[in-house]
Copies of this chain bind each other. A is one copy, B any other.
Amino acid sequence: MVVKADLAENSAVRGCMVIKPYGYAIWEKMQSELDKMFKATGHQNAYFPLFVPKSLFEAEEKNAEGFAKECAVVTHYRLKTDPEDASKLIVDPEAKLEEELVVRPTSEAIIWNTYKNWIQSYRDLPILINQWANVVRWEMRTRLFLRTAEFLWQEGHTAHATQEEALEETRLINGLYADFVERFMAIPVIQGTKSESERFAGAVETYCIEALMQDGKALQAGTSHFLGQNFAKAFDVKFATQSGGLEYVWASSWGVSTRLMGALIMTHSDDNGLVLPPNLAPIQVVIVPIYKGTEQLESISEMAHKIKSDLTAAGISVKYDDRDNFKPGFKFNDYELKGVPLRIAIGPRDLENNQVELARRDTMEKNTIFIEGLTDHIQSSLEEMQSNLFDKALQFREEHITEVNDFDEFQKVLEDKGGFISAHWDGTSETEEAIKKKTKATIRCIPLTEEKAAGNCIYSGKPSVQRVLFAKSY
């Protein structure tokens, strides 16, 4: 569907995708909204180098260990003509770098090495910086938008004087992500923390938002990490406190990526193709003329342009598709495939009656609507569709959180129904690993919840303080 709907395609580079204009336009809308939200909460954008010298990369041990197995390494800075074939190029062995450069899989190392020079005193804190960038992780199995060797993302990197402040920032951003994904992408998410084995390499605590796809598998949609003083210690970043002491700086980092595009597609699509939430649709309304001959087309076009300019004035993005080399039926299918929320069709009889046919992508309902009041009607249809998509996804999610109390039931639900399984866990990596081995399900998160009812681990029977959410995942 990603390919059919013209969102992206595989490239000649293993695991790297081409994001096509229609897919990129959706990503740009996401970027724009997120960027506003980051700035509204006091963050600034900046840009740090693509490359991380190996010696910096290895400084924070766990982080390095986590990413070393899948990173692209630059070893040379020149090609030269192949002496055996003048039309070919080979790596010039004389242009070997003294120190290899890692293409950033994430930027903590290069950024904390920079922050070291920016932070002397408590007055230099907090630092609240975000970067929009590409990163590379040499994944073995790749899949468009979900897991690609190169992907686009934003990564926030903040520095604070106290642990509490850094933790607050971590939680603030996790909440901001949840808010964005629910309000704009119409995807309900569960906020929680990760178990130790699923934690970001180098983090003390990883907060996350978890969504459920229509096939019953979970998808991690965003993460926000409390890094403690790990990177400050690795890069020796201390600050003079107000009271005259010298302390290591506290840190957070957080990111969402083009993976969100995958979540969007897998949450709302149906058999006819993509279904885009109006808040992120590059084209919210498409107008298709139904006509025979140029004369009819001219009259219809006049009406269409009027409607388009009214809608545009109301802040709605509209496309009028008067291409003459495609039939209306082909266009209908194509815009359904591309998930355009509303379609207006105008035929000769509509002209006479001052009406149009309006089709809504999510419900596939068609209605005849009078031109008078059309803009208002469309505005409210878009709003309805936005909330309908969320409600539908929420209902599906709610129906797919199953509480289980023993391991047989766990395996049965996982097999027959899928979705999240809410179960007691004894808190150990051993149990988590054993369950994963037997079922392929992992702990998606330990939900942030007020009511922590204690119980017994479904696997080991040992005591548990609260239920956690298991699922198979992307």
Instruction: Name A's B-contacting residues (CB within 8 A).
Output: 9, 11-13, 16-21, 24-25, 27-28, 44-54, 56-58, 61, 64, 68-81, 87-89, 91, 100-103, 110, 113-114, 123, 129, 133-134, 136, 138, 150, 152, 325
Contacts and interface: CB of A to CB of B under 8 A. Distances in A.
6 contacts: A18-B114, A25-B45, A50-B134, A69-B79, A72-B77, A72-B101
B54 A79 contact: yes
A45 B61 contact: no
Contact of A46 (B24, B49, B100): B24
Nearest to A17: B49
Nearest to A78: B69
A56 B91 contact: no
A19 B47 CA distance: 5
Contact of A75 (B45, B48, B73): B73
B150 A50 contact: yes
Contacts of A87: 58, 61
A76 B114 CA distance: 26
Given A50-B103, A51-B150, A68-B78, 4 more contacts: A19-B46, A21-B46, A24-B44, A73-B77
Nearest to A98: B14
Nearest to A131: B24
Contacts of A20: 46
Nearest to A15: B49
B13 A53 contact: yes
B110 A12 contact: yes
A102 to B, nearest CB: 7
Contact of A73 (B11, B50, B74): B74
A45 B24 contact: yes
B73 A102 contact: no
A17 B114 CA distance: 11
Contact of A16 (B13, B50, B113): B50
Contacts of A133: 134
Number of copies of this kind of chain in the complex: 2
Contacts of A68: 78-81, 89
Contacts of A57: 79, 89
A79 B13 CA distance: 20
Contacts of A25: 44-45
A48 B11 contact: yes
A118 to B, nearest CB: 9
B110 A100 contact: no
Given A56-B12, A123-B325, A74 B77 contact: no
A17 B44 CA distance: 17
B19 A136 contact: no
Contact of A12 (B45, B53, B75, B103): B53
B18 A101 contact: no
A354 B101 CA distance: 59
Counting chain B CB atoms within 10 Å of each CB, the highest count among A21, A54, A81 belongs to: A21
A113 B57 CA distance: 33
Contact of A77 (B46, B64, B70, B77): B70
A75 B75 contact: yes
A70 B77 CA distance: 6
A71 B24 CA distance: 27
A95 B138 CA distance: 11
A56 B113 CA distance: 35
B74 A78 contact: no
Given A11-B114, A87-B58, A150-B49, A75 B78 contact: no
A48 to B, nearest CB: 5
Contacts of A110: 11-13
A18 B50 CA distance: 10
A56 B88 CA distance: 10
Nearest to A109: B12
A28 B132 CA distance: 11
A27 B16 CA distance: 27
B91 A75 contact: yes
Nearest to A68: B79
A334 B68 CA distance: 43
B47 A152 contact: yes
Nearest to A44: B21
A239 to B, nearest CB: 15
A133 B16 CA distance: 15
